[in-house]
Structure 1
Amino acid sequence: MALSFPKPSKLISFSLLLLMALVQSPWDVNGEQDLVFFLQDVTKGPNATVAAVAGVKGKDWSYTTFGSIYVVDDPVTEGPNKNSAPVGSAQGLLVTSSSDGSSLNVIMSIVFTNLQYNGSTLQIQGVSRQNENYREVSVVAGTGRFRSARGFAALETVYYDPNTTYSVIRLSVTLLSSSGP
């Protein structure tokens, strides 16, 4: 004779499902999710991750020259050390968009290749004021685990070596509750 168990009530089933969802939720009590990554950025030399691709004819192409356009493919890591575990890459465009050269327009995709978010992306866009250590831009979209993401991202330069043009930029992303996993 087979064992028979009573059918769980709908209330118990719903309660268990709700409990599982709450335990697995990455959101904090304010309905936000915070992620922190580090961009490993090199602007010159054979290992450059940033390259000038266009600018105003007859003018120097530099970060402070209006109209200069750069492509970016920075490695993104879990920690500030360049040997930290890879998370993905930051791919996009930087455009010197202010006539005095003080601001860049950032259009960037964070393309995840790590196990947790593999195949997902976050789209970042906004004005980055170059002379400020803390720069805030918008998270305007996402794919995969971050489908329809929205929120904001802070870019902070935590290390810069002018001799090698190597810098580490902390990317602190805050996703609002209707975004992401």
Structure 2
Amino acid sequence: MAALFYIFTISLLFSSVSGKLQDDFAAEIDAKVLGFRKEKLTHFRVYWHDILSGQKPTSIQIVKPPSSVLASNGFGIVSMIDNPLTVGPELKSKLVGRAQGFYALASQEELGLLMTMNFVFDEGKYNGSTITVMGRNAVLNKVREMPVIGGSGLFRFARGYVEARTHTFDLKTGDATVEYNVYVLHY
């Protein structure tokens, strides 16, 4: 009986393919087969805590450029992150996920980062879903915009953008708290 159900499900999936396979590997399918309905826009506001100091930093330098090319702004430095995402600017406020990925000092002229990270949610209906952000972060600008380039779980086929605003920055430790407003279109 299970085998019959499996065959029925597979035949249903292939019956929704419009046309035959192109070049023997690609075909258009109806998005409803995958459970996609109406697209919606969701706004999140989270606080991203980049902790370089203390016993358990959430950001660690993994690449240091050769001293012969090290610019005064740190060009070439790459740091891996596993930063807490909270609902408020205080680190002790409710944790809703983590920002996991890396950032690199990618500008020779100014303090410009290449950010590549997943916002991994572990709270409520978004538990287990991710939003992928990748783009340029001109750290000294009041507001920085970066694209949302995808996601997983509830955010499959996601697209949108984030706005980052520095909330606090400690010159002595390098620790920072950044407010992220995320605007994401998803199904």
Q: Distance in 2 between matches of 1:173 and 1:46?
A: 30
How far off its partner does 1:150 sit? 0.2
Residue 162 of structure 1 pairs with residue 171 of structure 2:
yes
The aligned counterpart of 2:76 is 67
Distance 1:101 1:59, change over 3 A: farther
Q: Distance in 2 between matches of 1:60 and 1:44?
A: 26
Give the letter aligned to residue 175 of structure 1.
Answer: V
Q: TM-score, structure 1 length as denominator?
A: 0.75
How far off its partner does 1:67 sit? 1.2
The aligned counterpart of 1:138 is 147
Residue 130 of structure 2: which of 101, 108, 121 is its match?
121
Q: TM-score, structure 2 length as denominator?
A: 0.73
Q: Distance in 1 between matches of 2:51 and 2:123?
A: 22
**Post-superposition CA distance 1:29-83 (Å, at most 9, x none):** xxx3211111122122323111111122125878922211110111011111111
Q: Which runs of 5 or more residues in structure 1 are unaligned?
A: 1-24
Q: Is the 8 A contact 1:63 1:101 kept in 2?
A: no
How far off its partner does 1:115 sit? 2.3
Q: Distance in 1 between matches of 2:136 and 2:106?
A: 8
The aligned counterpart of 2:29 is none
Q: Distance in 2 between matches of 1:44 and 1:86?
A: 20
Number of equivalent positions: 150
Specify the SS of the correspondent of 1:80. coil
The aligned counterpart of 2:3 is none
Q: Is the 8 A contact 1:65 1:101 kept in 2?
A: no
Distance 1:148 1:87, change over 3 A: same
Distance 1:63 1:158, change over 3 A: farther
Distance 1:174 1:116, change over 3 A: same
The aligned counterpart of 1:53 is 62
Q: Is the 8 A contact 1:62 1:68 kept in 2?
A: no
**Post-superposition CA distance 1:67-104 (Å, at most 9, x none):** 11110111011111111111110011111111224211
The aligned counterpart of 1:38 is 47
Distance 1:66 1:164, change over 3 A: closer
Give the letter aligned to residue 85 of structure 2.
Answer: V
Q: Which runs of 4+ in 1 moved over 4 A?
A: 59-63
Q: Distance in 2 between matches of 1:63 and 1:155?
A: 24
Q: Distance in 1 between matches of 2:80 and 2:101?
A: 6
Residue 107 of structure 1 pairs with residue 141 of structure 2:
no
